[in-house]
Structure 1
Amino acid sequence: MRIAMWSGPRNLSTAMMYSFGARGDCAVWDEPFYAAYLDRTGADHPMAAEIVAAHEADPERVAARCCGPIPGGKAHFYMKHMPHHMLPDFPLDWAEPCVNIHLIRHPARVIASYGAKREEMTLADIGFPQQAALFDRLGGLVVDSADIRADPAGMLGLLCAEIALPFDPGMLRWSAGGRPEDGVWARHWYGAVHRSTGFAGPEGPLPDVPDGYQSLYKAAMETYSEMQARKLVLPKA
């Protein structure tokens, strides 16, 4: 099985990669198209030059690996993708036979978390419109990160059932520190995940959105609300 997990930044996406990577039968890949995106756009991201130098920057070659042999001879391949990395002329046909899952998070939390790591952001930087466009093209399942944090075993069990993948309780824990598959950008972005050994508990109240990001927040909320209406929901006890 090939799983394409689509998520904007600061969305629990790395913890989800660690969760699937904790399975003995699953290879993982961290943001395959990031270097290609930076190389093509010249976006001023932290460590941009180092990322392009360290990772494959040809989108055609990346796409070929997405549908090529699964690393390590594993049965399943979990790919952590960012919607905004998929520029209009990047190949996407590789994703059509994948199990496509869309991980969402409330925009107020995304804006607060992203802003702590990067001073400026646009709507395109946090990926909400691109994720909606990918959902329209590829379809798939929608999962809210808040639901995973509130009940990791329940939501991961439901997700695995939906994609016909046996749930492995090992997905709930991982070793502290990084994974060999981490991109070189991990040392800038993954501090909290590297200190963790499992999913954190439920999140607290929503953070305030700064005045300068209110228009961005409103636009992101429109997309988030549409996606949230399609999310997986645990049956009521």
Structure 2
Amino acid sequence: MVAGVAGQPIAHSLSPVIHAAWIAAAGLDAVYRAFGPADHAAFAELVSEGRRGVLRGLNVTAPFKEQALALADEVSLTARACGSANLLVFEAGRVRADSTDGAGLMAALAEQAPALDVTGQALVVLGAGGAARAAAAALKAAGAEVGILNRTVQRAQALADELGVAVIGSGALCEAALVINALSVPPEIDLEALRPDAVLMDMTYRPLLTRFLADGRARGLTTVDGLAMLIGQARPSFQALFGLAPPVVDVRTVALAALGAVA
């Protein structure tokens, strides 16, 4: 079985390291590799190879998540709510699309901020792109009161209208039990305005300890890193791709070694 992750750029991805550890532990005759289509036409050709049985499936990252959804024959309710797909499974010439990003986010919160119950809580997502959409959709489904904070209010409003969440200003940060950075750059917010029990999460894992998380830790806040989310979304992906649950392996330690970081 051949599966992998597709994106551009893709050389930085730790997904092959994580899945390879599970494949080895399970003793599977399989390979999981990185694919770097040069453009959307090349990604479409990669999906066509999947339809022809060359590939078992793909995880998908930027900039192809929306295209992945559009190319699928079957789309899960979760992927439809997110407006994108990070998982394609090929079977009998057909393409099934799903999104495990939300599951990964919730798994990361459960692991690194176990005291946080998002139900009924005011939460803030920074950004209005694809990562923000997946986060907002998952948190809304979990019963949270989600607010979108983005420099471009029009973009934030479009996302909020689609998901049924709110657009907020920076003044609402003082009420947030959780603030998630879904931007590709460090956010410019006043951490001193946050509740003393607020949780900070960053969806990136390069670097593992972002400036946002480091500043939060310095203030004594609980932090959740992007690697926990990456591993959390990889678990259901592995199950869908290879038909079995991931073996019990300390993949975080394996990923940290590849990342050159410490736990």
Where on the TM-score scale, by shorter chain, does this alignment land: which range? 0.3 to 0.5
More strand by share: 2
What TM-score do the two structures reach when normalised by structure 1?
0.35
What TM-score do the two structures reach when normalised by structure 2?
0.32
Instruction: Say which one has the larger Rg.
Output: 2
Structure with the bigger RCO (C-alpha within 8 Å, sep 6+) is 1
